[in-house]
């Protein structure tokens, strides 16, 4: 969507604040022995507390407020009863519907002491997404974001998953434009002032993946881990205005 007036921007800022509080609280509750379903229950409880609806439940066939992807499950992980253990890499993706507007964002956490490799995956994943956000300026094109995501990952010896893309957002969870995690500068759709988008990527060691038998979990084909970060914000002439916080 493109913001039409100050009221829409105010509501979106409020939505981002509520959504950030929920995701931050979920991250704070990650611990050894806690399960993804425990966090899912907490997310649904917080949605009821805030009197909002989970935006992911607007996706046909998806019945959860979160996607919680652990280790080699790169994204779209259905919350399950497997307890977190020391060294796990946990990606929580979530969003809400607030006064008719959707949010969507993701962060990665480590459980206890994690490996140096996973620390690096987290660092590079966040840096790549931040660099993508820096290119989300009115007058640029979606390819500028895509190129920043992939080139940052490659600089450190990683790459970005190609199956999924960043996207516009607004009254519905997934809107135009589609923003791939790879591409060439100055290509694709023009970014316009007031556009509301999500900038995201999954940083991985290789591009091989498969979909779990549950039809949702996307896992690495070689068992390697991945990180994922996603910000929601507004494209402006002087920079990307983040609506969801860093943690």
Q: What confidence score (pLDDT) does residue 230 get?
A: 98
Residue 51 belongs to a domain: yes
> Over 80: is that where the pLDDT of 122 sits?
yes
Q: Residue 25 domain-assigned?
A: yes
Residue 105 lies in a domain: yes
Residue 138 lies in a domain: yes
Does residue 247 form part of some domain?
no
Percent with pLDDT over 90 in the chain? 98
DSSP state of 58: G
Total of domains in the chain: 1
The parent domain of residue 78 ranges over 6-242
Interval 2-23 mean pLDDT? 98
Residue 152 has pLDDT above 90, yes or no: yes
pLDDT of 33-55, one tens digit each?
Answer: 999 999 999 999 999 999 999 99
**Does the pLDDT value for residue 211 go beyond 80?**
yes
Domain CATH code at residue 118: 3.90.230.10
Average pLDDT, integer, range 170-189: 97
Query: Which two tokens mark 121?
Result: 């995956």
Taking a C-beta distance cutoff of 8 angstroms, is the pair 229, 149 a contact?
A: no
Query: Rg of the chain's alpha carbons, rounded to an integer?
Result: 17
Question: At residue 231, does pLDDT exceed 90?
Answer: yes
Euclidean distance between CA atoms 35 and 40, whole angstroms: 9
Question: Mean pLDDT, to the nearest integer, of 62-73?
Answer: 98
**Nearest C-alpha neighbor of 8 from the set 158, 171, 155:** 171
Residue 11 buriedness (CB in 10 A; 0-12 / 13-18 / 19+): middle
User: What is the average pLDDT score of the chain?
Assistant: 97
Burial class (CB in 10 A: 0-12, 13-18, 19+), 178: middle
- Whether the pTM exceeds 0.95: the reply is yes
Does residue 246 have a pLDDT over 90? Answer: no
Residue with structure tokens 């490996």? Answer: 115
The span from the CA of 105 to the CA of 125, in Å, is 14
Q: Does the pLDDT at position 205 exceed 90?
A: yes
Work out the pLDDT band at 200, boundaries 50, 70, 90.
Answer: very high
Q: Is residue 40 part of a domain?
A: yes
Is residue 1 in a domain? no
- What tokens were used for 108? 């990665």
What is the Cα–Cα distance from 200 to 179, expressed in whole angstroms?
Answer: 9
Helix or strand or coil: residue 219?
strand
Is 178 part of any domain? yes
């Amino acid at each position: 969507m493109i913001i039409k007036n100050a009221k829409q921007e105010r509501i979106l800022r409020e939505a981002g604040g509520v959504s950030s509080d929920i995701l931050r609280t979920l991250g704070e509750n990650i611990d050894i022995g806690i399960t993804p379903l425990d966090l899912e229950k907490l997310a649904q409880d917080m949605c009821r507390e805030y009197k909002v609806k989970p935006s992911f439940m607007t996706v046909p066939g998806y019945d959860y407020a979160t996607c919680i992807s652990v280790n080699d499950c790169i994204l779209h992980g259905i919350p399950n009863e497997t307890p977190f253990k020391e060294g796990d890499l946990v990606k929580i993706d979530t969003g809400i519907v607030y006064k008719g507007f959707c949010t969507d964002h993701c962060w990665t956490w480590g459980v206890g002491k994690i490996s140096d490799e996973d620390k690096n995956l987290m660092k590079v994943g966040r840096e790549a997404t931040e660099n993508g956000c820096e290119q989300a300026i009115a007058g640029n094109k979606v390819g500028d974001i895509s190129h920043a995501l992939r080139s940052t990952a490659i600089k450190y010896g990683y790459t970005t998953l190609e199956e999924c893309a960043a996207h516009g957002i607004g009254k519905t969870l997934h809107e135009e434009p589609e923003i791939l995690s790879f591409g060439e500068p100055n290509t694709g759709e023009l970014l316009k002032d007031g556009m509301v988008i999500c900038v995201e990527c999954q940083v991985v060691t290789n591009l091989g993946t498969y979909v779990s038998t549950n039809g949702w979990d996307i896992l690495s084909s070689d068992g390697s881990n991945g990180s994922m970060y996603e910000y929601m914000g507004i494209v402006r002439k002087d920079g990307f205005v983040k609506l969801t916080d860093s943690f």
